[in-house]
Amino acid sequence: MLPEDSSRALAFQVCVSLNGKRSHVHGTREKATSLPLPMGSVPLVTTYVLLFLTELSTGQRRVTVQKGPLYRAEGYPVSIACNVTGHQGLAEQTFQWSIYKPDKPDREVQIISTKDPDFTYAFYTLRVQRRDIYVERIQGNSVLLHISKLQTQDAGEYECHTLNTDGKYFGSYSDKVILTVIPDTLSVTMSPQTLNREEGESLTLTCEVSKATTQHTHLSVSWYQLQERGNQATEIISLSKDFILIPGSSYTERFSAGDVRLDKIGNTAFRLSIGRLQPVDQGQLFCEAIEWIQDPDETWTFITRKQTDKATLIVQPEVKDFQVDISVESSFAVGQPLRLICSVASKSSQNQRLQVVWFLNATDIGNIDASGVLGLKKDYEERANLGQLQVSKISPKAFTFTISSMGPRDEGTYRCEVAEVVSAHEDFPGLPQRKQFADITVRLRKPRAKTLELSAENGKRSIWEGEALIFCCKLNGAEHPLSVIWWHTPVNLQQPEFLGSLEKDGTVHLGPSYKDRSNDGSIGLKKENVATFRLEIFNTLMTDGGTYECKVTEFQNKDGGSSWTQKTPVTVNSLNSGLHVTLQSRQPKVTISDTFALSCIIRFDYSGLKVPITVTWQFQPRGALDYQQLVTITQNGTIEWGHFQEQMQKKIKVSQSSSGSQLLIYDATEEDTGIYQCKVEAYQRETQYTYGPTRRAAMVISHPVGIDITLPESQLMVKSDSQVQEISINTEADIECSILSQTKGKTQISVTWYYLPPSREASWLKILETDQDDVVKYGDDFHSPKKKQKLHSEKVSKDLFQLHIQNVDNSDQGTYHCTVEEWLWSTSGSWHKLGEKESGKTELKLKPIGSKLKVMKTNHTENTLEHRDVTINCSLESPSPSASIFSVVWFRMQEHSTVTVLVEMQHDGVLKYGKEEHRGKLHCYRSSAGDFVLKLRSVEMVDNGIYWCKVEEWQLHGSPSKWVSQASDESGHMLLRVLHSEPTFSSRICSSSFLLYFLVIYPFVIFIPLLIFTCCLHRKAKKMSLQSSKERQGEALWVGLKRAEGNFLNYNDCKSDEKLEEEEDEIN
């Protein structure tokens, strides 16, 4: 693949008027300096267009697409920008793209929508599904329409439309741009060839570039080199669409020096010239041409791009002179041998005649000529004769200089100088033509003092708990037997502890604190060689940190000798500090019945240390205070389940690796909502053996992660079209409830049927319900066996339910509909309601049968006093047929109350009261063939309300004969007002117990003393019969006055009765 660098050569400027001001947006787009973007890539120009589109005024909605017309080549991508501003409501707007083709400019063809997957017409469905056509959202209010590979039929006028989210229509909601698809006429050719060149030679390549586009376009031409090992092309040089030469970054200096050129020859030829070729130029060379067009917004966009076949260039490197190398073999100690080796490296395949000259500190000490003759200086010739020195040719291209016993005089810088001898004839020696040499310095090693070295293996001064700790204690220059003592000073302690010792005879002694660990192989003392001792501590503990001391004693005689001591500090880090646990979940919100995963990622800072781990998954349910164990994977792979229901174990899957553990929970339920965490425990072996006992060395608990189990969004849709069914009487009616779509998953449907009688004051009645378990429950008004036999529901298919009405009669007329509820079953054994939809209304009517039943509909008001009887009439307007009988139902509706059925006189004359207490209060009868009467006895204030009747006509039908309702009609309304009775004098007395007692008892209290007093006077009068006539007249006057008083009282009583009668007449 070639580099996917975007273009860099095009600049544009857009000015947009914003509330009377001018705003400038600048963007820069340079020429493509590398090779092609994928055909589906988005041209950057569309992104810049979006920058100025988002600056539009937000006063009203405005939809804008980039300025057109646009010209693009067939087979290449196109991107069209669309932006909406000034909108309200949702920040993320819905965009819909359509096209109007030139042959049918008035016909809209829908392409794609950001919201509705069913928006696309069939013509574009396959390309949209393959993402050959797709919409990229740049922002909530900005999108790009991408067509990856243009076709001829894609030409037309494209419209971008947005849906209204503003609450009202204000502004523009769509915009259009014309796209013209032009043929691809670009041609780029260069014959494939293989070129062999020597380093330093020149190279010329030519490619032919032509186009036949009718629109004004520019060309850019680039040359690239592709190395044999790699897919990244290197740009050599390019001619931009603005006719500017731009060298590649690797060829800038050579371009400045004139070694790299690009020339245009004639109208179509572009020639690449490279002078003084280098080995790095070797590879495959090719030419690429890009055709550019300037859009109406003054931005440049490429429309076609093609490459030539590749030419293979092979550069032969220039042959170099031979090279000389010198090496040494010696311990550089006095009296030890020294051997120098002089090697010649040459790529020449011919036999070369070589001669060598050896120098020490720039003084010639010996040579071997091309014929193999040895020549030595005087001192070295004597040593050679004594066998102490040897100069020889061990191969055609290798020479040696050997000293058997080095001394101080042999120190210095040695040079090996090799020359190639060229001769016209083998019998003549010839003269050296080319020379090469190599130097090396030799110094004798001085005797070192005896030193003690203490080091940790691999130089590690800081280790992890459980990691092996190995020390090497070496005495340099030791000449006699050695013994070693090891000491350990723990952290925060001053006094060292005796760890162990190794005597010169190999006897090992261990300190009291380390004997037990030695038994299981955790500690060992060894002697590696004569002067080196090893201390090995396996399965280290935190207490092993501190300072270690090595004391070596050299026994120069039986009594002892010299001792050397070295110390080194060591840090033991706890496993807990290097254990990191992270809990992750990509699904913090999970839909019920779905599967969700939790990943416990474990990272060790001690990756090289194999540490057994145990992972425990813990769960805190919603509302709980403590965590409970779900499952544990122990260090040996055993799975231990927590104490929870067995069904939970069946839906959990757990896995573990060295990098972490994963918990999968299937069929999520609401009980799975809560907080999860994982606990990781690291263990350390207590012995050196693989299957030995372990102890817990570290424990880390992850941060908690909350998981929320939610219900899925309901996809329930029910057919909502209303309809009218007109059927014949005494036939069967089928009311349909059609489900258009349901939510995927373990969902079930419950259907409830409702009925609305044709009466104006009626309310919806529940007929029956088939729940999600297919249990049928009838409503309160349809619970009788007769109703159950007449009405029943059937599930025809998973998407269709029917309500069957047997023997339809007039009472079945009305409106029906169903309510569909969608339920989701969870593995916890419970149902969850997802959604509820109501179907359209179905009005059921009977076909006319000739009945002309009409009830008088006169509305009137009647006022009456309490405790009086009221009669309400309900009459037919015309005589009834002799074959018909009638039933009547009386209704009452009171203020702030629903309609109440008072009494029903069925067609067979049986009375059926709405409430039992109505039986003594109401009297319903038929006064004549077409007159019905309802009598209310002793009305009270609670009887206020509106009264009316409903008459239903019945006739015999079928065989055997059966009474069937033919028609029904309701009467007008009668408003009954019950008034309080006006109280009279006698009623007021009767209504007050105190006044009643006063009027009944008080006259006796007055009359009895008066009677006694009168009797006494009468007796006294008889005794005084002889008194004067004046006294008798006074007595007569007293009696006359008393009679007159009685007459006055009677007059008042009469007056009160008359007044009461007048008031009653006024009320009536």
pLDDT in tens, 911-942: 888 888 888 889 999 888 788 999 999 999 98
- Among 66, 310, 357, which residue's Cα sits nearest to residue 205? 310
- Amino acid identity at 443: R
pLDDT of residue 515: 84
The answer, yes or no, to whether residue 445 has pLDDT greater than 90, is no
The helix (run of H) or strand (run of E) holding residue 1058 is: helix 1029-1067
Cα Rg, the chain, nearest whole Å: 59
β-strand partners of 71: 180
Average pLDDT score, the chain: 82
pLDDT in tens, 733-778: 999 999 999 988 778 899 999 999 887 677 899 999 998 888 999 9
pLDDT of residue 759: 74
pLDDT in tens, 205-217: 999 999 999 999 9
- 3-class DSSP state for residue 915? coil
Tokens coding 463: 């280790």
Give first-to-last CA distance, the chain, whole Å: 109
Give dist(CA 1013, CA 988) in Å, integer.
Answer: 34
The helix (run of H) or strand (run of E) holding residue 648 is: helix 646-650
Q: In angstroms, how far is CA 683 from the centroid of its own chain?
A: 37
**Block residue for tokens 């955790």:** 522
In percent, the amount of the chain with pLDDT more than 70 equals 84
The answer, yes or no, to whether residue 499 has pLDDT greater than 50, is yes
pLDDT of residue 432: 54
Beta 931-936 vs 870-875: how paired, if at all?
antiparallel
DSSP state of 626: S
pLDDT of residue 16: 29
Give dist(CA 449, CA 432) in Å, integer.
Answer: 50
The answer, yes or no, to whether residue 42 has pLDDT greater than 70, is no
Could you count the other beta carbons within 10 Å of the beta carbon of residue 410? 18
Asked which of 183-187, 317-321, 471-475, 885-889 is least confident by mean pLDDT, the reply is 317-321
pLDDT band at 989 (very low <50, low <70, confident <90, very high): low
Backbone region of residue 459 per phi and psi (left: phi > 0; alpha: psi in -120 to 50; beta: other values): left
Tokens coding 624: 């709980």
pLDDT band at 637 (very low <50, low <70, confident <90, very high): confident
What does 1019-1030 look like in DSSP terms, one character per residue? HHHHHTTTS-HH
Select the highest-mean-pLDDT range: 417-426, 444-453, 595-604, 1050-1059: 595-604
Tokens coding 737: 């409830």
* Whether the Cβ atoms of residue 487 and residue 601 lie closer than 8 Å to each other: no
Q: In angstroms, how far is CA 874 from the centroid of its own chain?
A: 69
The helix (run of H) or strand (run of E) holding residue 1037 is: helix 1029-1067
- Among 342, 281, 288, which residue's Cα sits nearest to residue 313? 281
At a CB cut-off of 8 Å and minimum separation 6, what does 743 contact?
A: 712, 713, 714, 715, 716, 822, 824, 834, 835
- Among 494, 705, 541, which residue's Cα sits nearest to residue 620? 705
The answer, yes or no, to whether residue 44 has pLDDT greater than 60, is no
Could you count the other beta carbons within 10 Å of the beta carbon of residue 406? 20
pLDDT band at 848 (very low <50, low <70, confident <90, very high): low
Distant-in-sequence contacts of 14-22, Cβ < 8 A, 24+ apart: 14/52, 14/297, 16/52, 16/55, 16/56, 18/55, 18/56, 18/57, 19/57
Give dist(CA 47, CA 14) in Å, integer.
Answer: 13
pLDDT in tens, 781-819: 888 888 888 899 999 998 999 999 988 887 888 999 999
pLDDT band at 566 (very low <50, low <70, confident <90, very high): very high
* Whether the Cβ atoms of residue 617 and residue 654 lie closer than 8 Å to each other: yes
122-130 mean pLDDT: 90
pLDDT of residue 8: 31
Tokens coding 390: 């040897």
Give dist(CA 27, CA 779) in Å, integer.
Answer: 72
Distances 599 to 602, 664, 674, 731 between C-alpha atoms, Å: 9, 9, 16, 65
Tokens coding 944: 């206020």
- Among 11, 41, 68, which residue's Cα sits nearest to residue 240? 11
Q: In angstroms, how far is CA 641 from the centroid of its own chain?
A: 30
pLDDT of residue 1050: 40
In terms of C-beta density within 10 A (0-12 exposed, 13-18 middle, 19 or more buried), how is residue 1046 classed? Answer: exposed
Tokens coding 491: 């952290």
pLDDT of residue 693: 66
pLDDT band at 433 (very low <50, low <70, confident <90, very high): low
Q: In angstroms, how far is CA 398 from the centroid of its own chain?
A: 73
Give dist(CA 368, CA 391) in Å, integer.
Answer: 8
pLDDT of residue 1061: 47
